[in-house]
Amino acid sequence: KNLANNGELHEEDDLGRPRAVKGAAAASEEPYEGNTTFVGRVTRDMIMKEGWIFKRSRYLQQWKKRYAVLTKDHLLTFREKGTYINPTEAIKMDVCSTVKSSDDEINKEFSFKLDIAGTTFFFYAESYEEKEGWIGALGRSMIKPSIMIDEAFDNEYM
């Protein structure tokens, strides 16, 4: 049973007590739940970037070496290279808001962070070039295809 109360939608539980109903806006503000979005297997033609990086665990804050695979839809991390099933983390790229360097923020050289719906993932690479490569690839995968500008036209507008 739905009840309107102060402009909010509520529902009653089995005992008739009102409870709030979460809408899309409320759900988007909740912390990112992680590995709930990827089912299937990664094939070579899906891979945009891959390589070893270190990922900080969300709860214990420990650095774990992971093999990362970026597809057009997900950033996936695995314990081993070449075994592209059952990722340790699956991050949907369309919910990511920012990717940027975090060297100063966490005092870790070659580090970067990915912000997603109230959750921040920290990573670090083994070199500056690798870090910049990941930041660039992740940034490009966050851009929706409908707003990407064809590189062939870039020079015409300059």
**Unique residue bearing structure tokens 């709030």:** 20
Q: How many CB atoms lie within 10 A of CB 58?
A: 14
Q: Residue 29 contacts by C-beta under 8 Å, 6 or more apart in sequence? A: 117, 118
**pLDDT in the model for residue 44:** 86
> What is the pTM assigned to this prediction?
0.69
Per-residue pLDDT of the chain (158 residues; tens, 9 = 90+): 333 333 333 344 455 544 433 332 333 345 555 555 577 778 888 999 999 999 999 889 999 999 999 998 999 999 999 888 889 999 999 889 999 999 999 999 999 999 988 899 999 999 999 999 999 999 999 886 655 555 555 555 54
Measured distance CA(4)–CA(75) in Å, rounded: 40
Q: Report the pLDDT value the prediction gives residue 84, as an integer from 0 to 100.
A: 87
- pLDDT of 52 reads 98
pLDDT at res. 75: 95
| C-beta pairs of 36-43 under 8 Å, 24+ apart in sequence | 36/90, 37/74, 37/90, 37/91, 37/92, 38/74, 38/76, 38/87, 38/90, 41/84, 41/85, 42/69, 42/71, 42/76, 42/84, 42/85, 43/84
* The predicted structure's pLDDT at residue 128: 97
